[in-house]
Chains A and B, each alone.
Chain A
Amino acid sequence: MLIYTLKRLGLAIIVMVTVSMISFMLLRVSGDPAISLAGEGASSAEIEFVREQYGFDRPLIVQYFEWAGRAVQGDLGTSPYLKQPVAQMIKDRMGVTMTLGVCSLTFALLLAIPLGMLAAIRPNTWIDRLALSISVMGQAMPSFWFGLILIIFFGVYLRWLPISGSDTWRHFVMPTIALGYYATPAIMRLVRSGMLEVLASDHIRTARAKGLRWPKILFKHTLRNAIIPVVAVAAVQLGFMLGGSIVIEAIFALNGLGNLAWISISRSDLPVVQAIVLFLSVIYIFLTFMADLFNAFLDPRIRSS
Chain B
Amino acid sequence: MTPTQQQFDSGLGLDVVFPTPGQIMGQRMKSHKGFIIGGLMVLIVIMVAIFAPYIAGYDPYHQDLSNRMIPPVWSEKGTWDHPLGTDNMGRDYLSRLAYGSRISLLIGFSCMAIAAVIGISLGLIAGYFGGLADYIVSFIITVRLALPAVLVAVAVVALIGGSMQVVIMVLGCLIWDRFAVILRATTQQIRAMDYVQAAQAAGCSVLWLMVREIMPNLFNSIVIVATLEIGRAILLEAALSFLGMGVQPPIPSWGLMISEGKDLMLFDPYLVTIPGVALFFLVLGMNLFGDGLRDVTSPEGRS
Contact = CB atoms under 8 A, between A and B. Distances in A.
A–B proximity contact (CB within 8 A): yes
Given A148-B262, A156-B266, A15 B303 contact: no
Given A140-B283, A141-B280, A148-B272, A243 B242 contact: no
Interface in B240-288: 242-243, 245, 255, 258, 262, 265-266, 269, 272-273, 276, 279-280, 283-284, 286-288
A277 interface: yes
A142 B276 contact: yes
Interface of A: 11, 14-16, 18-19, 22-23, 26-27, 30-31, 123-124, 136-137, 139-145, 148-149, 151-152, 156, 193, 196, 236, 239-240, 242-244, 246-247, 250, 258, 261-262, 265-266, 268, 273, 276-277, 280-281, 284-285, 288
B154 A148 contact: no
Given A18-B143, A280-B151, A30 B160 contact: yes
A193 B302 CA distance: 7
B258 A144 contact: yes
Given A31-B158, A265-B245, 4 more contacts: A16-B146, A136-B291, A142-B283, A265-B155
B155 A250 contact: no
Interface stretch (B46-54, B201-209, B212-220, B231-239): B231-239
Contact of A276 (B151, B160, B265, B301): B151
A278 to B, nearest CB: 10
Nearest to A264: B155
A19 B150 contact: no
A243 B149 contact: yes
A224 to B, nearest CB: 20
A195 B301 CA distance: 13
A261 B158 CA distance: 12
A26 B151 CA distance: 12
Contact of A262 (B154, B280, B291): B154
B155 A30 contact: yes
Contact of A281 (B147, B156, B265, B301): B147
A144 B239 CA distance: 7
A277 B155 contact: yes
Interface in B29-47: 34
B165 interface: no
Contacts of A258: 151
Nearest to A200: B303
Contact of A145 (B139, B151, B159, B272): B272
Contacts of B266: 152, 156
Interface string B120-147: 0000000000000000000100110111
Could you tell me the dominant secondary structure of chain A's interface residues?
Answer: helix
Nearest to A133: B34
Contact of B303 (A196, A247, A261, A281): A196
Contacts of A23: 147, 152
Nearest to A146: B276
Interface residues on B, range: 35 or more
Contacts of A124: 303
Nearest to B301: A193
Contacts of B158: 31, 265-266, 268
A140 B284 contact: yes
Contact of A148 (B231, B239, B265, B288): B265
A144 B147 contact: no
B148 interface: yes
Contacts of A136: 34, 284, 287-288, 291
B288 A15 contact: no
Give 3 nearest A-B pairs by CB, closest first.
A243-B148, A31-B159, A30-B159
A247 B255 CA distance: 12
Contacts of A261: 151, 154-155
Contacts of A288: 146
Contacts of B143: 15, 18-19, 22
B239 A247 contact: yes
A281 B258 contact: no
Contacts of A148: 258, 262, 265, 272, 276
Contacts of B239: 142-144, 247
A8 to B, nearest CB: 11
A288 B147 CA distance: 13
B287 A139 contact: yes
Most chain A Cβ neighbours within 10 Å, of B152, B154, B155, B266: B155
Most chain B Cβ neighbours within 10 Å, of A27, A196, A265: A265
